[in-house]
């Protein structure tokens, strides 16, 4: 009798785009602007709900500076009303290994950020976000996720 090969469950991740469209009249005050993001695990709709909740809580720091990597998006969503924003799936990825999925998502997110020019003409704040898997120093099993950013090189 042949043994059945154990199948690993596939991990899923998405690249998504958030855009503005006024629910009353459909006028777009930000026609070429968007936010590009990545998400793993739950649905992108749940991730979108997190963005909307964060936007409702968003406040400037006392210095008037925008803080945090989502600041441009969340400030705009708060001012222009969260119900006027939409999310759409740009790409879906599956992998058996979490590190492989993270690499696929990082690469695709950076490519879409460049394609949509969503830093200069959008709500992304960082050029190439890199999410990596980091093992806890306590032992091998706990895993935490760290968001790393690559430096932006500017010419003067």
CB 74 within 8 A of CB 52: no
Letter string b/e over residues 36-75, b meaning 16 or more CB atoms within 10 A of that residue's CB: bbbbbeeebeebbeebbebbeebeeeeeeeeeeebbbbbb
- pTM attached to this predicted model: 0.74
Which domains are delineated in the chain?
11-136+143-149 (3.40.1440.10)
- For residue 29, the model assigns a pLDDT of 85
Structure tokens at 143: 């895993």
- For residue 151, the model assigns a pLDDT of 33
Alpha helices in the chain (DSSP H): 44-57, 71-80, 98-116
- For residue 58, the model assigns a pLDDT of 84
Per-residue pLDDT of the chain (156 residues; tens, 9 = 90+): 555 555 578 999 999 999 998 888 778 889 889 999 999 989 999 999 999 999 988 875 544 445 556 789 999 999 999 999 999 999 999 999 999 999 999 999 999 999 999 999 999 988 766 666 544 333 343 333 333 333 333 333
> Hey, which residues does 11 pair with through a beta bridge?
95
- For residue 67, the model assigns a pLDDT of 54
Structure tokens at 24: 């009353």
């Amino acid at each position: 009798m042949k043994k059945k090969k154990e199948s690993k469950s596939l991990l899923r991740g998405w690249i998504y785009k958030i855009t503005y469209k006024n629910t009353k009249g459909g006028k777009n005050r930000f026609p070429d602007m968007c936010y590009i993001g990545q998400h793993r695990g739950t649905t992108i709709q749940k991730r979108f709900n997190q963005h909307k909740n964060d936007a409702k809580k968003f406040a400037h720091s006392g210095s008037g500076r925008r803080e945090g990597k989502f600041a441009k998006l969340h400030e705009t969503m708060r001012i222009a009303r969260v119900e006027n924003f939409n999310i759409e799936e740009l790409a879906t990825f599956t992998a058996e290994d979490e590190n492989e999925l993270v690499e696929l998502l990082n690469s695709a997110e950076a490519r879409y950020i460049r394609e949509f020019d969503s830093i200069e003409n959008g709500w992304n704040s960082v050029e190439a976000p890199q999410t990596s898997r980091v093992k806890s120093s306590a032992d091998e099993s706990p895993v935490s996720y760290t968001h790393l950013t690559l430096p932006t090189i500017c010419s003067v």
